[in-house]
């Protein structure tokens, strides 16, 4: 079953869920029920609360109905017919009126004895699927249309795959994901915190968590610098005119934080993205073809006004630190620049042993209003990226409708330690922002021309990537990334002076080291280091103080390793260095 067919199956099961729910709760008001990455959900307004205990009976009824759902029959209906059918459902009426006002057609799909408004995309014959390929997983609260000002609904989630075996494998992966949940481990390992006084979605990174941030961004920079990138710095706010010119204002108006001032009539906002600022660095002086490419890099925070109900740990926040860069180049330089970015991405993810797949994300021709630029511009941009992927010998899938609003992109999909896929790194080709900001350079023929702009992300959001790394490693980071690389544990107080000398040598070598010279028993010290997942724990006793070899307890390994004192600092420094 391909992805398209699986999405149709999941969408069909959302219909089946609604049918079963209405049999048990006929006064429930159904709203929407889409397919999602691992299954489906449907949102309902119940007259009285239901609990997870009721999911098994709903799921059982879904399986009983399954043999009767042999087809989905669609018919176009008028807005008045739809209003009559859903007269007692204010949520459906809102959608009907909205669609009718936009001139969209309305379609009613029926399977078994159940009918629902839907745009289509269903399984050909639901009765033929593996009846154990799905399960209802949980209840959750959800605001109507994702707006916390609207009614709160009850969302019923289901998990669905092509077969029971795939479903079961996914459930096992989910259990492992719970064990690795970065929200739990982040607190246990003292990496970040949230404060109600600061605000939801605004994480505070502790000294240990800040080490992770610094190491990750330093690693990215170490890979980028040889390719000629230069660091720039921009403010955290701008006039709204900047984003009106770029086109972001119309596309993301609801996600922008507005800044008020009593000292100016200008309207300011907290920056939701960095690319418009970087265009203005380019535009700040005359450019020649000899100056190109220009590669501007910055690690900086942007701000998005996310709904409170959509915030989730570090995965979705309101302050987003981006490892961001933009390349301004000539058209004949695009392939080389994009190829270089792909090389950096490959080196970065190889360090985490995360395999990458590729998706060419293109515009949806059926929705031209969703994008900047004309048909010819998009054809040129998409064609350029297709040629590049072909020259690089990369296999890729096409993601229709997954492009940025200003241009197509090559998205790199990383697979983590437990098999989950994440879209993180990207190369985006943009002919539109240079046009909108009237960027120019003087070419070899003395004619003024537009540069091409490449947007690129390696790790993407620093916050989201740290959350992913916590879960990828289950908190047991490799030595180069670990907030604390080495723990020295003394057997007795008399060995503390020697341990402090060793600690200074390690610190001078750039290693992150702590000393546990407390009065606790040695066993407790070792267990404490293990609980905090410290990569190396070194016991300091009489033998070591007299010059003997160091015995290293490596987290996650049964056997200790032995290193001579003469080689210890050098080997520790090598193990703790950035992997480049």
Residues 6+ apart with CB under 8 A from 71: 111, 124, 125
Spatial separation of the C-alpha atoms in residues 151 and 144, rounded to whole Å = 6
Tokens 């999405």 belong to 7
Question: Which listed residue (116, 122, 322, 472) is catalytic?
Answer: 322
275 is a catalytic site residue? yes
Residue 455 sits at φ, ψ, to 5 deg, of: -100, 140
Alpha-carbon torsion (262, 281, 225, 320), positive or negative: positive
Spatial separation of the C-alpha atoms in residues 421 and 415, rounded to whole Å = 4
Residue 209 DSSP SS3? helix
182 is a catalytic site residue? no
Residues 6+ apart with CB under 8 A from 580: 219, 222, 223, 347, 351
322 is a catalytic site residue? yes
Question: Which listed residue (8, 318, 455, 512) is catalytic?
Answer: 455
Which whole-number Å values give the CA distances from 83 to 32, 47, 102, 106, 543, in the listed order? 16, 21, 16, 11, 85
Question: Which listed residue (15, 275, 411, 553) is catalytic?
Answer: 275
326 is a catalytic site residue? yes
Question: Which listed residue (38, 43, 116, 324) is catalytic?
Answer: 324
Residue 155 DSSP SS3? strand
Q: What does the buried/exposed string (b/e) look like for 336-347 if buried means 16 or more CB atoms within 10 Å of the residue's CB? A: ebbebbbebbee
333 is a catalytic site residue? no
Which whole-number Å values give the CA distances from 393 to 160, 190, 396, in the listed order? 34, 44, 10
Residues 6+ apart with CB under 8 A from 132: 164, 167
445 is a catalytic site residue? no
Spatial separation of the C-alpha atoms in residues 121 and 7, rounded to whole Å = 8
Question: Which listed residue (8, 409, 420, 487) is catalytic?
Answer: 409
Spatial separation of the C-alpha atoms in residues 558 and 539, rounded to whole Å = 16
Burial of 462 from C-beta contacts in 10 A (0-12 / 13-18 / 19+): buried
Question: Which listed residue (167, 182, 278, 304) is catalytic?
Answer: 304
Which whole-number Å values give the CA distances from 518 to 412, 488, 496, 506, 539, in the listed order? 47, 11, 9, 20, 13
Residues identified as active-site: 275, 304, 322, 324, 326, 409, 455
């Amino acid at each position: 079953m391909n992805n398209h067919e699986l999405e149709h199956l999941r969408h069909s099961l959302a219909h089946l869920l609604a049918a079963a729910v209405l049999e048990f709760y006929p006064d429930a008001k159904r709203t929407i029920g889409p397919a999602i990455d691992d299954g489906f959900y449907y949102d309902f307004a119940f007259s009285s609360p239901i609990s997870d205990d009721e999911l098994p009976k709903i799921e059982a009824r879904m399986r009983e109905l399954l043999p009767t759902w042999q087809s989905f029959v669609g018919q176009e209906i008028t807005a008045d017919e739809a209003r009559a059918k859903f007269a007692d459902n204010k949520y459906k009426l809102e959608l009907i009126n909205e669609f009718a006002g936009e001139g969209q057609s309305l379609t009613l799909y029926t399977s078994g004895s159940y009918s629902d408004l839907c745009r289509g995309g269903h399984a050909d014959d639901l009765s033929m699927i593996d009846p154990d390929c799905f399960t209802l997983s949980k209840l959750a609260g959800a605001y109507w249309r994702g707006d916390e000002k609207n009614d709160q609904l009850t969302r019923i989630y289901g998990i669905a795959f092509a077969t029971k075996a795939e479903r079961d494998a996914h459930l096992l992966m989910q259990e492992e994901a719970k064990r690795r949940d970065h929200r739990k481990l982040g607190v246990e390992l003292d990496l970040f915190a949230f404060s109600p006084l600061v605000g939801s979605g605004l994480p505070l990174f502790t000294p240990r968590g800040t080490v992770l941030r610094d190491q990750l961004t330093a690693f990215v920079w170490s890979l980028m610098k040889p390719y000629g990138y230069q660091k720039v710095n921009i403010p955290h706010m701008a006039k709204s005119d900047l984003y009106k010119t770029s086109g972001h204002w119309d596309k993301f108006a609801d996600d922008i934080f507005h800044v008020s001032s009593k000292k100016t009539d200008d309207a300011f906002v907290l920056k939701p993205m960095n690319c418009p600022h970087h265009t203005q660095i380019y535009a700040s002086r005359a450019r020649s073809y000899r100056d190109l490419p220009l590669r501007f890099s910055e690690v900086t925070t942007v701000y998005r006004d996310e709904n409170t109900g959509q915030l989730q740990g570090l995965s979705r926040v309101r302050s987003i630190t981006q490892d961001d860069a933009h390349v301004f180049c000539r058209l004949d330089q695009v392939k080389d620049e994009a190829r270089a970015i792909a090389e950096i991405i490959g080196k970065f993810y190889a360090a985490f042993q995360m395999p990458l797949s590729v998706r060419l994300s293109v515009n949806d021709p059926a929705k031209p209003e969703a994008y900047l630029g004309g048909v010819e511009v998009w054809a040129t941009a998409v064609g350029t990226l297709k040629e590049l992927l072909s020259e690089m010998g990369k296999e890729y899938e096409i993601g229709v409708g997954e492009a940025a609003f200003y241009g197509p992109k090559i998205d790199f999909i990383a697979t983590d330690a437990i098999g989950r896929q994440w879209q993180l790194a990207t190369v985006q080709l943009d002919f539109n922002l240079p046009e909108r900001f009237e960027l120019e350079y003087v070419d070899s023929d003395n004619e003024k021309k537009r540069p091409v702009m490449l947007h690129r992300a390696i790790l993407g959001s620093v916050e989201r990537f740290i959350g992913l790394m916590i879960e990828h490693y289950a908190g047991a980071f490799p030595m180069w990334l670990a907030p604390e690389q080495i723990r020295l544990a003394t057997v007795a107080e008399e060995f503390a002076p020697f341990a402090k000398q060793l600690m200074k040598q390690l610190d001078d070598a750039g290693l992150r080291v702590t000393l546990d010279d407390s009065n606790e028993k040695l066993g407790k010290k070792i267990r404490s280091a293990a609980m905090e997942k410290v990569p190396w724990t070194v016991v300091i006793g009489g033998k070591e103080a007299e010059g003997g070899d160091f015995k290293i307890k490596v987290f996650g390994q049964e056997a200790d390793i032995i290193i001579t004192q003469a080689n210890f600092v050098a080997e520790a420094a090598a193990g703790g260095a950035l992997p480049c």
